Amino acid sequence: MDILHLVDRLEELFNESRPIPLTHNVIVDEDRMLDLIDQMRVTIPDEVKKAQQVLTQRDRILAQSQEEANRTLGLAREKSNQLVERDAVVQAAKVRADEVRKKAEIDAEKTRLEADNYVIQTLSRVERELERLLNQARNGILALENINPLDEPEADIEIVEQPSEDKD
């Protein structure tokens, strides 16, 4: 399950919660909240695994690029060695070999940068979502800790747990 979907469900649960009169607090269905938290605990490691897979894929692409560059350089060396006897051809081969080598290095660097950017974007998105979830959890905890029925004049108010309507 996608972490963003779970965050949306958590927000929906919050929005469906009943407000406590004269406060900024709400009553949340405990079973649904714990179910969502459990699902998030399962999903977040999956997101981290996906990020690790992206890193592995980046390393594989870099290795392939390096291998291709080495192969291209080897082919260029072979070609230049065949043309050593002819001065004019030797010069042209050296120039072409340098161009091929430079192009291979540029292509490898470009591929590495693109892979790095993709990993950075993916990990940044995961980090933002985790920070947002952490802030929501902290705010919920603070809100619940601030409710102390013994300190309030209306201590006879009974908190009723809402029955869960649907669990996914």
Rounded to whole angstroms, how far apart are CA atoms 120 and 64? 21
**What is residue 159's predicted lDDT score, i.e. its pLDDT?**
53
Report the DSSP beta bridge partners of residue 27: 18
pLDDT in tens, 151-161: 555 545 555 55
pLDDT in tens, 47-94: 788 888 889 999 999 999 999 999 999 988 888 777 766 777 678 888
Residue 52, C-beta contacts closer than 8 angstroms, at least 6 positions apart? none
DSSP 20: P
Where is pLDDT greater, at 45 or 166? Answer: 45
**What is residue 151's predicted lDDT score, i.e. its pLDDT?**
53
pLDDT in tens, 82-131: 776 677 767 888 889 999 999 999 999 999 999 999 989 999 999 999 99
* Average pLDDT for the chain: 83
DSSP string for residues in 119-157: HHHHHHHHHHHHHHHHHHHHHHHHHHHT--TTTSS-TTP
Rounded to whole angstroms, how far apart are CA atoms 143 and 157? 17
> Average pLDDT of 130-134?
92
pTM (2 decimals)?
0.34
**What is residue 87's predicted lDDT score, i.e. its pLDDT?**
74
Rounded to whole angstroms, how far apart are CA atoms 11 and 42? 18
**What is residue 127's predicted lDDT score, i.e. its pLDDT?**
92
Query: E strands of 1-102, at which residues?
Result: 18-19, 26-27
Q: At residue 157, what are phi and psi to the nearest 5 degrees?
A: -70, 130
pLDDT band at 166 (very low <50, low <70, confident <90, very high): low
**What is residue 100's predicted lDDT score, i.e. its pLDDT?**
93
Over 70: is that where the pLDDT of 32 sits?
yes
